[in-house]
Amino acid sequence: MGVAHNQPAKLAAFEAHYKSDAGPSPMWVFGWPDDKNETMKMGVSVPGGLSFLVHHDFKTPVPGLDQFPRQDRPPVAASYFFFRLMVGLGFAQLFLLILVGFCDWRGALERFPWLLRAMVVSVVGPFIANEAGWIAAEVGRQPWTVYGLLRTSDSLSKSVAAGQVLGSIIGFGLVYLFLFIVWVYVLGDKIRRGPDTSGMES
């Protein structure tokens, strides 16, 4: 895994891996990261799961967040949840696809209208997964802009005022919101009209 090698603190945050182990590192399946006490609440884990993902065996330990000075650790909860959201959506899409593929292969797809509805809803899945993965990658790299070399607090432009940055964020927000609404409107219009079959007959 590239992350384990290049940005070990990010991996530890993705997995809410607070404490380094002497032996195999587990992987959380469920759980609520508690930064204050540096533990997982209600955690359910696969023993040696993280060791397997990183080192392809169930023995070698993976460094936890306690290996990094407190000021070099990313916010754990956000990294953990957004990473899980991305991975979860990915697997959910895959599962849905296999299920739909199977039903279609058996010729039974039309007997399960909820599956078709799920397919319609699943259109937004990749968008959310994409954004969630992006947020996980950016939050997980904190407090660095360039991992281990340049801190985010050191990479600010001196001559750009906070108000300018806020203004640009609001501006982008408004522009993208407007374009999103237009896009949904145009897309909805296109879907209602159905596929253009005029060029497909020959």
Partner 1 sequence: MELNVCWFVVLGALLAGYAVLDGFDLGAGIVYLGFKKEEDRRTVLNAIGPLWDGNEVWLITFGGALFAAFPQAYATAFSAYYTAFMLLLFALIFRGVSLEFRGKRPEPAWRGFWDVAFSVSSALATFLFGVAVGGLIRGLPIGPDKEYAGTFWDLLGFYPIVVGLLAVALFALHGALFLHLKSSGDMEARLRRWIGRLFDFFAALYVLATLATLVKIPSAIAHFHSMPVVMLVAAAITAAVVAIPWLVSRGRAAAAFLASSLVTAALVFLFGFAIYPNLLLSSLNPAWSLTLRNAASSHKTLGLMGAVALIGMPFVIAYTIVIYRVFRGKVDKDKLAY
Judge contact between 40 and 18, C-beta under 8 A: yes
| 173 interacts with partner 1 by CB under 8 A | no
**Treating both helix axes as pointing N-terminal to C-terminal, what angle do 76-105 and 113-121 enclose, rounded to 10 degrees?**
140
Which CB atom, from 95 or from 180, has the smaller least distance to partner 1? 180
Q: Which range touches partner 1 (CB under 8 A), out of 42-50, 57-65, 113-121, 181-189?
A: 181-189
Looking at 121, 189, 197, 201, which residue binds partner 1 (CB under 8 A)? 189
Looking at 23, 148, 167, 188, which residue binds partner 1 (CB under 8 A)? 167
Q: Which range touches partner 1 (CB under 8 A), out of 17-25, 93-101, 104-112, 167-175?
A: 167-175
Judge contact between 84 and 128, C-beta under 8 A: no
Instruction: Read off the tokens for 54.
Output: 């990183």
Looking at 181, 182, 184, 191, which residue binds partner 1 (CB under 8 A)? 182
| 186 interacts with partner 1 by CB under 8 A | yes
E strand residue ranges, 56-190: 144-146, 150-151
Q: Which long-range contacts (CB under 8 A, 24 or more apart) does 121-129 make?
A: 122/92, 122/93, 122/96, 125/89, 125/92, 125/93, 126/89, 126/93, 128/85, 128/89, 129/85, 129/86, 129/89, 129/90, 129/93
Which CB atom, from 95 or from 185, has the smaller least distance to partner 1? 185
Instruction: Read off the tokens for 165.
Output: 């940055």
Which CB atom, from 30 or from 178, has the smaller least distance to partner 1? 178
| 193 interacts with partner 1 by CB under 8 A | no
Region 130-159 residues binding partner 1, contact defined as CB under 8 A: 157-159
Name every residue whose Cβ is closer than 8 Å to that of residue 126 and which is 6 or more positions away in sequence.
89, 93
| 160 interacts with partner 1 by CB under 8 A | yes
| 181 interacts with partner 1 by CB under 8 A | no
Q: How many chain residues interact with partner 1 (CB under 8 A)? A: 15
| 29 interacts with partner 1 by CB under 8 A | no
Helix H or strand E segment including 92: helix 76-105
Binding site for partner 1 (CB under 8 A): 157-160, 164, 167-168, 171-172, 175, 179, 182, 186, 189-190
